[in-house]
Amino acid sequence: MSDMDCSQNWLEALKWDDNGMIPAVSQDATSGRVVMFAWMNRESLQESIKTGNAVYWSRSRQRLWRKGEESGHVQKIRSVRADCDGDVLLLAVDQIGGIACHTGRESCFFLELQGDRWVAADPVLKDPKEIYSK
Amino acid sequence: MSDMDCSQNWLEALKWDDNGMIPAVSQDATSGRVVMFAWMNRESLQESIKTGNAVYWSRSRQRLWRKGEESGHVQKIRSVRADCDGDVLLLAVDQIGGIACHTGRESCFFLELQGDRWVAADPVLKDPKEIYSK
């Protein structure tokens, strides 16, 4: 681990992995809930900063993923932080609709380990069929 | 993205990457601050659950990293959550000493993007020389 060199260009100061990716954690600025984890490449981070809305890189679809493009559940960025060694991002966001997860829950982190089982510990706020019916 | 199969053994239900790793985000249960991001392998997760203290896998040192082993800044685990597709963990922790970062700050995410510069936006709570003097 070596600390980030903040004297460099802001984009190149970050430590992109061998695939040109960096993990990004998003946290609802109001509720404090960690709502999502996704990946960004340089293009998605630049577009996020430019537009003020979180844009990720979808590794499964191999394209830019403008969060909320189908669901309307856009993430308005309040701040972008990096960690000490510059290889992870943390976004404070206003989560439009109060739903980040494709299952209709506030947060993707709704599975809690209870004993030796994963239990869905948060309510579904909106039926995914309704979310993706457009 | 496919949802996690919660009917499987809890450890194998998680989606370990090609290197047998899963990312783990830790959040201070009291302050709500996201304090750290690190990696776990199966052994570190099992030891975390068994001992109640966060244990990561140090990719740079290629060994188990019992968080706080040098600094005393242990993370007591309150809960472990997984995200919808089971490839990221979120730990709610009591951060002993109120310091997670090796720089002596509460959180590793202390660098805020301000315009085109990364700025250290959080105070150093304890001199790292003091933390690692033992």
* B76/B80 Cα distance (integer angstroms): 11
A101 and B84: CB-CB below 8 Å?
yes
For residues A83-103, give the mean pLDDT: 97
CB count in 10 Å sphere of residue B12: 10
Q: How far is CA A35 from CA A42, A107, B56, in A?
A: 22, 4, 22
Q: What is the model's pLDDT at position B134?
A: 62
Q: How far is CA A39 from CA A23, A57, A118, in A?
A: 5, 6, 24
Task: Find, in chain A, the residue whose alpha carbon is nearest to that of B60.
Answer: A1
* B99/B71 Cα distance (integer angstroms): 9
**Would an 8 Å CB–CB cutoff place A117 in contact with chain B?**
yes
Could you tell me the sign of the dihedral formed by the alpha carbons of A85, B90, A46, B113, in that order?
negative
* A116/A92 Cα distance (integer angstroms): 32
Q: What is the model's pLDDT at position A80?
A: 98
**Would an 8 Å CB–CB cutoff place B29 in contact with chain A?**
no
Q: What is the model's pLDDT at position B1?
A: 63
* B113/B12 Cα distance (integer angstroms): 38
B36 and A83: CB-CB below 8 Å?
yes
CB burial of B28-49 (b: ≥16 within 10 Å; e: otherwise) equals bbeeebbbbbbbbbeebbebbe
Q: Nearest CA to A92 among A33, A29, A23, A25?
A: A29
Q: What is the model's pLDDT at position A20?
A: 97
Q: What is the model's pLDDT at position A119?
A: 96
Q: B-chain residues within 8 Å CB-CB of A84?
A: 101-103, 105, 108, 110-111
Percent of chain A with pLDDT over 70: 99
Confidence of residue A114 (pLDDT cuts 50, 70, 90): very high
> Is pLDDT above 70 for A112?
yes
Contact B41, B109 (CB under 8 A): no
* A53/A68 Cα distance (integer angstroms): 9
- Smallest CA–CA distance, residue B4 to chain A, in Å, is 9
Beta bridge partners of residue A92, listed in sequence order: A27, A79
> In which residue ranges of chain B is pLDDT below 70?
1, 134
Q: What is the model's pLDDT at position A2?
A: 84
DSSP, res B132: T
- Smallest CA–CA distance, residue A65 to chain B, in Å, is 13
* A98/A86 Cα distance (integer angstroms): 29
**Which member of A27, A81, A109 has the closest CB to residue B112?**
A81
Q: What is the DSSP string of B41-89?
A: -HHHHHHHHHHSB-EEEETTTTEEEETTTTT---EEEEEEEE-TTSS-E
* A71/A67 Cα distance (integer angstroms): 8
Task: Find, in chain A, the residue whose alpha carbon is nearest to that of B87.
Answer: A37
Q: What is the pLDDT of residues A16-32, one digit of tens each?
A: 999 999 999 999 999 99
Q: What is the pLDDT of residues A50-76, one digit of tens each?
A: 999 999 999 999 999 999 999 999 999
Contact B22, B40 (CB under 8 A): yes
Q: What is the model's pLDDT at position B133?
A: 82
Task: Find, in chain A, the residue whose alpha carbon is nearest to that of B11.
Answer: A116
Q: B-chain residues within 8 Å CB-CB of A82?
A: 109, 111, 113, 118
Q: Which of residues 75-94 of A touch B (CB under 8 A)?
A: 79-86, 88, 90
* A77/A51 Cα distance (integer angstroms): 9
Q: What is the model's pLDDT at position B2?
A: 84
Task: Find, in chain B, the residue whose alpha carbon is nearest to that of A60.
Answer: B1
Q: What is the model's pLDDT at position A133?
A: 82
Q: What is the model's pLDDT at position B69?
A: 95
